A and B are shown apart, each in its own frame.
Chain A
Amino acid sequence: MPELKVEVIPEGTVIDHIPAGKWLKVIEILGLTKPNGGTLLIASNVPSKKLGRKDIVKVEGRYLSEEEVNKIALIAPDATVNIVRDYKIVEKFKVSIPDEIVGILTCPNPNCVSNHEYVRPRFKVESREPLKLRCHYCERTIEGEEIIGNL
């Protein structure tokens, strides 16, 4: 019962099955690093049957929507999300890759205008399996390691 290694939260969102070591990136992407963003409980390198080792992030007092959480799908494709109200899980879903990735990933093409002007990088998801993204600006496609390397 790895969840018990950190305190059970009364209200909020539990993000489970994050690949070990990726919790910081996850809270960065979700914008949870601000000082007034509420309490976060982190469990890192927790033994997991599915992943070997995993991270868990508990966000107290905030209910993250499916759309918000889907932003982490690129780095935590197997993550599951539990919405907790009054100590009970009232909703559970798996993250899924959205149709468009905005502002998370920078374009690996050094000559892409998105790396030079004040603009949010945007990628269209061309295929999910294998994951292939196309930059909205320079139209280059990126896959695999190149995606992870530019997160």
Chain B
Amino acid sequence: MDWNGRDVISIRDFSKSDIEFVLKVAERLEEELREKGSLEYARGKILATLFFEPSTRTRLSFESAMHRLGGSVIGFSSASSTSVRKGESLADTIRTVEQYSDVIVIRHPMEGAARLAAEVAEVPVINAGDGSNQHPTQTLLDLYTIKRAFGKIDGLTIGLLGDLKYGRTVHSLAEALAFYDVELYLISPELLRMPKHIVEELRERGVKIHETTDLEGAIPELDVLYVTRIQRERFPDEEEYLKVKGSYQVNCKLLKNAKETLKVMHPLPRVDEIHPEVDKSEHALYFRQVFSGVPVRMALLGLTLGVL
């Protein structure tokens, strides 16, 4: 696979060896960065970050990654300050921005926006979230975090908890995990179960799947618990939401029944699905997960720019 100039739009475009390659490069860069403090691979290169929607972690970690590679960054973090407000099309915005930059990172509220941007642009485009569709760099950093924590992904039992119906993060992660020999516990309220077509696809790909509403029952089996936020607005009535919300809080009492080596992950932001008391425990991996965003995005920027 020639990475120079390649777009990163959807985890569906990745093979297992693509994923493994990115994780390997990220690991190498993380070590190099620790040794040298800063790197020079992308010196003279410019990243444009086009955030049509707000983001804390994704935008800052892409910017940090580019700076760590020795490159520089231009961009905007809200569409309201750009010509988009005047009615400029996405295609025209992309054609303009690519004149100023060597690589584009885009987050957009519409599904498919990053794919369209990649078709228009000559420079590589990296998807930082297109509506409720894809967020491939999040998936890659999730896999990287698991691999760094356990030294492997194969053989692990992983629980995905929360809004499995609408959450793009868990859909992409489950699809990527299907490349590995893993067992999945899909833990959610009935209303927010993983869509049937995804579950079927995972089963066809050989993943052993348990669908359950019982977090307490599942917890002793797990090596990783991947928690996502349950969005209040999905529930038909407040009472239902409150019932579910209470039962899915990850706290120290719940974790008493877990394996000592269990790691808890969360794409963040969290609201109250993980109690802050868990933060100090050996189980908490979610801030380490935030850190993983930088080496993984360094790898993707460096590879697509053709400078590594």
By a beta-carbon cutoff of 8 Å, the part of chain A in contact with chain B is 109, 111-114, 116-119, 135-141
Which 6 interchain pairs have the tightest Cβ spacing?
A137-B112, A138-B111, A113-B112, A138-B112, A113-B110, A113-B113
A111→B134 contact, CB < 8 A: no
| In the assembled complex, B197 has its CB within 8 A of some CB on chain A | yes
**How far apart sit A26 and B197, CA to CA, in the bound complex (Å)?**
32
Q: Which of B12, B91, B112 contacts A112 (CB 8 A)?
A: B112
Closest chain A residue, CB of each to CB of B195:
A141
Closest chain B residue, CB of each to CB of A138:
B111
Closest chain A residue, CB of each to CB of B119:
A119
Chain A residues in 8 Å Cβ range of B89: 117-118
Q: 30 interchain pairs (CB within 8 A)?
A: A109-B111, A111-B109, A111-B111, A111-B131, A111-B132, A112-B111, A113-B90, A113-B110, A113-B111, A113-B113, A113-B115, A113-B116, A113-B130, A117-B89, A117-B90, A117-B91, A118-B91, A119-B91, A119-B116, A135-B112, A136-B115, A137-B111, A137-B115, A137-B116, A138-B110, A138-B111, A138-B131, A139-B10, A139-B133, A141-B197
**How far apart sit A111 and B53, CA to CA, in the bound complex (Å)?**
14
Chain A residues in 8 Å Cβ range of B115: 113, 136-137
Chain B residues in 8 Å Cβ range of A116: 90, 110
Chain B residues in 8 Å Cβ range of A141: 197
**B19–chain A nearest beta-carbon distance, Å:** 18
Chain B residues in 8 Å Cβ range of A139: 10, 12, 111-112, 133-134
B116→A111 contact, CB < 8 A: no
**How far apart sit A141 and B131, CA to CA, in the bound complex (Å)?**
16
Q: How large is the interface on B (under 10, 10 to 19, 20 to 34, 35 or more residues)?
A: 10 to 19
Bitwise interface map of B from 96 to 117 toward A, beta carbon under 8 Å scored 1, else 0? 0000000000001111110110
Chain A residues in 8 Å Cβ range of B131: 111, 138
Chain B residues in 8 Å Cβ range of A111: 109-111, 131-132
**B53–chain A nearest beta-carbon distance, Å:** 12
Bitwise interface map of B from 265 to 301 toward A, beta carbon under 8 Å scored 1, else 0? 0000000000000000000000000000000000000
Among A116, A138, A140, which residue has the most Cβ atoms of chain B within 10 A?
A138
Closest chain A residue, CB of each to CB of B132:
A111
> A112-B110, A113-B112, A113-B113 given. 7 additional CB < 8 A pairs?
A111-B109, A113-B111, A113-B116, A119-B91, A136-B115, A139-B134, A140-B111
Closest chain B residue, CB of each to CB of A121:
B112
Chain A residues in 8 Å Cβ range of B12: 139
Chain A residues in 8 Å Cβ range of B132: 111
**How far apart sit A117 and B133, CA to CA, in the bound complex (Å)?**
17
Chain A residues in 8 Å Cβ range of B108: 113
**How far apart sit A1 and B212, CA to CA, in the bound complex (Å)?**
61
**How far apart sit A128 and B306, CA to CA, in the bound complex (Å)?**
39
Closest chain A residue, CB of each to CB of B113:
A113
**How far apart sit A113 and B89, CA to CA, in the bound complex (Å)?**
11
**How far apart sit A17 and B90, CA to CA, in the bound complex (Å)?**
43
**How far apart sit A98 and B115, CA to CA, in the bound complex (Å)?**
22
**How far apart sit A138 and B133, CA to CA, in the bound complex (Å)?**
6
**How far apart sit A114 and B96, CA to CA, in the bound complex (Å)?**
20
**A117–chain B nearest beta-carbon distance, Å:** 6
Closest chain B residue, CB of each to CB of A135:
B112
Closest chain B residue, CB of each to CB of A115:
B110
**How far apart sit A137 and B130, CA to CA, in the bound complex (Å)?**
10
Chain B residues in 8 Å Cβ range of A114: 112, 116
Chain A residues in 8 Å Cβ range of B133: 138-140
Chain A residues in 8 Å Cβ range of B197: 141
**How far apart sit A112 and B116, CA to CA, in the bound complex (Å)?**
11
**How far apart sit A136 and B111, CA to CA, in the bound complex (Å)?**
10
**A61–chain B nearest beta-carbon distance, Å:** 37
